Amino acid sequence: MVFRSAAFSVGSGVLAGLLLAFALNRLLASWIEGSSRNPLVLFGVTALLIATSALACLMPARRASSVDPMEALRYE
């Protein structure tokens, strides 16, 4: 449940970022001479962002799933 929520947040953020990157690419390229439009860099950064967010969500979820539910309820 937590992973799905985080995946939705990261997915929508990545989608919005990619759309803005494509939309603003022409404008920024006209201002900056010698800018690169390498799709490999864009793909690499996107993959790195997704992998980092998945790891950041997976580690606490894995730790939380290893706790006995009755023990967690008794703690409160």
pLDDT at residue 16 in the model: 94
Quickly list DSSP for 15-74.
HHHHHHHHHHHHHHHHHSTT----HHHHHHHHHHHHHHHHHHHHHHHHHHHTS-HHHHHH
pLDDT for 27-66, tens place per residue? 777 777 666 677 888 889 889 999 998 888 888 888 878 8
Neighbours of 31 (CB within 10 A): 7
pLDDT at residue 65 in the model: 81
pLDDT at residue 71 in the model: 82
pLDDT: which is higher, 25 or 75: 25
CB 10 within 8 A of CB 53: yes
pLDDT at residue 22 in the model: 82
Average pLDDT estimate for 13-20: 90
